[in-house]
Chain A
Amino acid sequence: MNIRKSVPGTWLIIVAISSLGLGLLFGALGGLQYVFSGFLKEQLSFQKIRPLHVYLVINWIFCAAAGAIYYYIPYLSGRALYSVLLANLHVLLQVIILLLVVSGFFMGIFGGREYLEFPPLIIILVITAWILFIINFFATIRPSFKKVPVYIWSWSTGLIFFLITITEAQLWLLPYFNNNIVRDITVQWKAMGSMVGSWNLLIYGSAMFVMEKITGDVTINRSNKAFFFYFLGLTNLMFNWGHHTYIVPSSELVKTISYGISMTELLILANIIYSFRKTYFKTNPHVHFLSFRILTYAEVWILINLVLSITISVPAINLYTHGTHITVAHAMGTTIGINTFLILASLVLIAEEITTEGQLYTPFFNRSFIFLNVSLLIFWLSLVGMGLCKIFAVQQKNSFYEIMDKLQPYFKVFSASGILVVIALLLVLFPVFKIFIKQASFKRKSV
């Protein structure tokens, strides 16, 4: 049985891909501001470009993950979406939030919090939209948690934890947190660290579903091993944020526990994908080959980022890497190489199921995807190089301006390869985007 068209899912995916396209554009402009001092300083300073880039890319992740889930839940439950009206309201709110945030940033209206740089009032709309999504999810899937596969658990907990963490991120509005920098920074790291975990649960859930759909093997996602790793992932979501706070004068116990736990998260997914590949070759190697291909590349990026993640989580190393672009390399590597690739695998699978055009895999797509991976690797290496160069410069007691001068060659490689990543991602996304646009213009019965 094929996945059927979902109108709200289609629109959320269109919003998601559009957000990513714009987010990439602002990212490329931000990169140029490192190379050319003062570039667009008065018209569109980094103070505006960075939040535009960060918000739009996060919006890509959430909208694409939600859009894919709108497609999956009627298919999995065998019943129509609980309320198309609530889903449409969710999409509408998402578009309103997007317009408010982006226009606000252009006008210089900020909330000034890391990642959530828009005014806190908008959070009310974000939470409302998310509650509508949660209602539809649970009312459609009506999960019996003793029987369901691990991805239903992953989505369910991801949905709930996003609600918890986005609320937690607003604790700074209370004077008890706002008037104490240690509490404020600790809660901020905690909320944002866990929020990343919540979207990882949504994306990893979809990746696990994609694997099941490709292989036809329903046992993987119901095995004890899958559940063991899922609960380990959940533990990470709740406790591994502490590795961000080594330099904050907060509890040492929390830091020690989180160090131990933060070592495991990416290993979890690598293990699951490894199991999947073994099964895939045994079963059905010609179905959704492109999704499989993308997951394989994601697996490589998981391993690369796993090594970096483990390294920078070691307290003695973290003291040096903290405040350098090595942290950015980790963020970019996971956002593009893992999150974006997993989402893409999911969207490709949906696109192939809802059209009659057959599989999306073409030699051009393949070349574009190789081009994307090579550009991303150069981009990632330039960030790591930047970080190492900064560490040595700091040890030599160089001033900030001397460090920036030394980093110039890295900035050039970073900016140029960043532009190549943008071009390659747009080339890869275009055929997928075209299919969803075409779907949006069809008036046919949907779920």
Chain B
Amino acid sequence: MTQQQQYGKSLYQEYNCQSCHQLFGLGGFLGPELTTVISDANRGPQYARILLENGATRMPNFHFTQKEVNAIIAYLTYVDANACTYKKNVTK
């Protein structure tokens, strides 16, 4: 994990993102599952960026800086790259 990805992970925890989102089944259900959000053809990094920058109907706007948004996307990209079993079984 790079330093930027580690920073993204610390932000993911600091903002308690897993309260609404899941990674590998861990987390809540109010928001979308994020394990493969980056490689998902219907979502991707741009989808994640827009939500992180603006919030959504249920998601508050956390007023992340660009550096923070980039770090969280870098972390989710790292998670996605390690989701081989998930992609093989769940998103096939």
A interface, CB within 8 angstroms of B = 33-34, 37-38, 41-42, 45-48, 50-51, 110-114, 117, 178-182, 185, 188-189, 244-249, 319, 322-325, 327-328, 399-400
Asked if B42 and A47 sit within 8 Å, CB to CB, the answer is no
Asked if B78 and A323 sit within 8 Å, CB to CB, the answer is no
Determine how close the nearest CB of chain B comes to the CB of A299; give it in whole angstroms. 29
Chain B CB within 10 A, most for which of A37, A185, A399: A185
Residue of B nearest to A180 (CB): B1
Determine how close the nearest CB of chain A comes to the CB of B22; give it in whole angstroms. 6
Query: What 6 new A-B contacts, CB under 8 Å, besides A33-B30, A180-B1, A400-B31?
Result: A41-B58, A46-B58, A47-B16, A248-B25, A248-B85, A248-B86
Bound state CA distance, A400 and B40, in angstroms?
A: 12
* Known A112-B12, A248-B24: A37·B29 in contact at CB below 8 Å: no
Which chain A residues lie closer than 8 Å to B86 at the CB level? 247-249
Determine how close the nearest CB of chain B comes to the CB of A103; give it in whole angstroms. 15
| B50 contacts chain A at the CB level, 8 A cutoff | no
Bound state CA distance, A13 and B22, in angstroms?
A: 33
Choice from A34, A112, A180 contacting B14 with Cβ under 8 Å = A112
11 A-B contacts (beta carbon < 8 Å): A34-B30, A42-B60, A110-B14, A110-B15, A113-B13, A117-B16, A181-B24, A181-B79, A319-B89, A400-B31, A400-B33
What is the interface residue range for chain B against chain A?
Answer: 35 or more
Determine how close the nearest CB of chain A comes to the CB of B59; give it in whole angstroms. 8
Bound state CA distance, A181 and B9, in angstroms?
A: 10
Determine how close the nearest CB of chain B comes to the CB of A70; give it in whole angstroms. 33
Which chain B residues lie closer than 8 Å to A244 at the CB level? 25
Asked if B29 and A117 sit within 8 Å, CB to CB, the answer is no
B interface, CB within 8 angstroms of A = 1, 6, 9, 12-20, 22-33, 35, 42, 57-60, 78-79, 82-86, 89-90
Asked if B58 and A50 sit within 8 Å, CB to CB, the answer is no
Asked if A189 and B18 sit within 8 Å, CB to CB, the answer is no
Bound state CA distance, A117 and B28, in angstroms?
A: 12
Which chain A residues lie closer than 8 Å to B78 at the CB level? 181
Which chain B residues lie closer than 8 Å to A48 at the CB level? 16, 19
Residue of B nearest to A327 (CB): B25
Determine how close the nearest CB of chain B comes to the CB of A102; give it in whole angstroms. 14
* Known A33-B30, A37-B57: A247·B25 in contact at CB below 8 Å: yes
* Known A112-B16, A323-B33: A188·B26 in contact at CB below 8 Å: yes
Determine how close the nearest CB of chain A comes to the CB of B61; give it in whole angstroms. 9
Asked if B57 and A38 sit within 8 Å, CB to CB, the answer is yes
Which chain B residues lie closer than 8 Å to A399 at the CB level? 42
Asked if A185 and B19 sit within 8 Å, CB to CB, the answer is no
Which chain B residues lie closer than 8 Å to A180 at the CB level? 1
Residue of A nearest to B37 (CB): A400
* Known A248-B24, A322-B25: A33·B6 in contact at CB below 8 Å: no
Determine how close the nearest CB of chain A comes to the CB of B58; give it in whole angstroms. 6
Bound state CA distance, A249 and B24, in angstroms?
A: 10
Determine how close the nearest CB of chain A comes to the CB of B21; give it in whole angstroms. 10
